Amino acid sequence: MNDPAGVLPFTGKVASHGEIEYARFAEKTPHLVLSTTLDNVTWKNTRIVRRVEDIRALKQQPGKDMHAVGGATLVSTLMNEGLVDELRLVVYRIVLGGGKAFFKDVRARHALKLLDVRPMKLDTVPLTYRT
């Protein structure tokens, strides 16, 4: 891991305590990348899976929860395959007036049960739903 107290390459800012703690956690956590185009990954504890069926097989194994981080295409794919048990969205206080419709590719209706709302600093609001 790079110096956690150093400047972050994407923001040019020094990492916060929370970012440092998350980086330490993430470095120890196994990662899966669902991709049909990548041939290799450089992050430790990471492997590429090619098919959604591989995710389904892993999800059925005993062990800890799996967390998927991604955009509209990944979330839609996983929802269409019935692989999402919980959905976490973060709402930011800005309307861009464009972009990709987040659930446009989800084929079926999903009733969501709100589990948690936790307004945070900078007016972001994380929402947690059970699917």
| Predicted local confidence at residue 122, as pLDDT | 78
pLDDT digits 0-9 by tens, 2-58: 555 678 787 888 888 888 898 888 888 889 999 989 999 988 889 999 999 999 999
What is the DSSP code string of 3-53? -TTSB-TTTSSBPPHHHHHHHHHHHHS-EEEE-SS-----STTEEEE--HH
pTM for this model (two decimals): 0.74
Mean pLDDT of 70-76: 88
130 three-state secondary structure: strand
